[in-house]
Amino acid sequence: MEEQQQTEDDLKQAVALMTRHDALSDTIERARHYGDIARDALAIFPDSHEKDCLLGIVDFCIQRAH
């Protein structure tokens, strides 16, 4: 991977590293954290179709993480 010449084993190695370091769980937790920040930022706006769409995007991004 470091030499930017991928082999068939590179994906296996990358997945093993992510698994060993619990990267997926950490990433999902971070997504939820930033999603909460986004929802809090949108709370100041009155309810509207546009606000609902933005909140839906936040939810989609978090659900997409897993």
Residue-level pLDDT at 31: 92
55: which residues sit within 8 A by CB, 6+ positions away?
Answer: 39, 42
Residue 3 in any domain: the answer is no
Residue 66 lies in a domain: yes
For the stretch 27-54, pLDDT in tens is 889 999 999 999 999 999 999 999 999 9
In the chain, the number of structural domains is: 1
Domain around 61? 30-66
Would residue 6 count as lying in a domain? no
- Is residue 35 within 8 A of residue 59, CB to CB? The reply is yes
